[in-house]
Amino acid sequence: MDFTNACELIELCEKSGKSVADIMREREIVQGETDAVTVEEKMKKALEIMRDSAHTPIKSALRSTGGLIGGEAAKLNAHRMAGKSICSGVLSKALIYSQAVPEMNASMGVIVAAPTAGSAGVLPAVLFALEEEFELSDETVIDGLFTAGAVGYLLMRNASVAGAQAGCQAEVGSASAMAAAAAVAMMGGGVKECLDAASVSLSNLLGLVCDPIAGLVEAPCQSRNAIGAANALTSAEMALSGIKAVIPFDEMAQSMYTVGCKLPNELRETALGGCAATPTGCALKCKIFCEG
């Protein structure tokens, strides 16, 4: 049940009549030389950690070590609860959760790096927003997580999920692709729709640079998690409506990697370009490290 690219994954799903989630489960069992119960328990544990990291900062604002972020999730939640949100339903909740997880990470809390710490808020945001709005079962959310895992596996194998290698498009972009596929699966879409959504997500964020202020995984990382979640939901909605990706997933993954490798060193997590190199970005770096 192993697969090395999206074409093989589609073929496996169509021949077996199984979902992406089930194919991924079987791959983990075989490749990990373990059993179904162990694989399921590990995924449930990951989901439990995700849930805690997405909800804790809403109840109690967490201050980051660098002081650049902290309290954003609680502010968004209060804004929503006051009836002032211009984003309703799923998107409103996704934005809140997407801000919460980076706060947990930057305050040295426990998160699930899916696929990285800097992009860890995207997938939980989409999972829990859909779960709550559509009253989905735990089993459906777990299926979404396995589906996201399949896309993440393909990106790690054939492209990159590292900002230092291919920019933020490889971190938030990959997370967004994973979340888009998960959303499609959770809402009843098939393998082709999942991969269409993932491909569109990657194309929407193609070229996104990695430029953390002061070299910290705080800003603009946190706000980009919100963009990743919104992008995932948009891409999933398009795929579920029958809109197909113009570029197949395998080709888009390769394109993302190629573009990432062409980014200058200053725009690949070195904090030497982009937001980090602005006068304000440099001043914040000095304040954090020179005055500390």
Characterize 88-108 residue by residue with b for buried, 16 or more Cβ atoms within 10 angstroms of its Cβ, and e for exposed. Answer: eebbbbbbbbbbbbbbbbbbe
Domains contained in the chain, CATH given: 6-289 (1.10.4100)
pLDDT on residue 61: 87
The model's pTM: 0.97
pLDDT on residue 291: 64
**What would the pLDDT profile of 89-136 be if each residue is shown by its tens digit?**
999 999 999 999 999 999 999 999 999 999 999 999 999 999 999 999
pLDDT on residue 55: 98
Lowest mean pLDDT among 30-34, 149-153, 219-223: 30-34
Give DSSP secondary structure letters for 177-203. Answer: HHHHHHHHHHTT--HHHHHHHHHHHHH
**What would the pLDDT profile of 153-174 be if each residue is shown by its tens digit?**
999 999 999 999 999 999 999 9
Mean pLDDT for all residues in the chain: 97
Question: Which of 200, 183, 254, 201 minimizes the C-alpha distance to 20?
Answer: 183
Length of the chain: 292
**What would the pLDDT profile of 181-236 be if each residue is shown by its tens digit?**
999 999 999 999 999 999 999 999 999 999 999 999 999 999 999 999 999 999 99
Close Cβ partners of 106 (under 8 Å, ≥ 6 residues apart):
62, 64, 65, 66, 68, 69, 70, 216, 217, 218, 222
How many CB atoms sit inside 10 A of residue 138's CB? 10
Q: Name the band, by pLDDT with cuts 50, 70 and 90, for residue 63.
A: confident
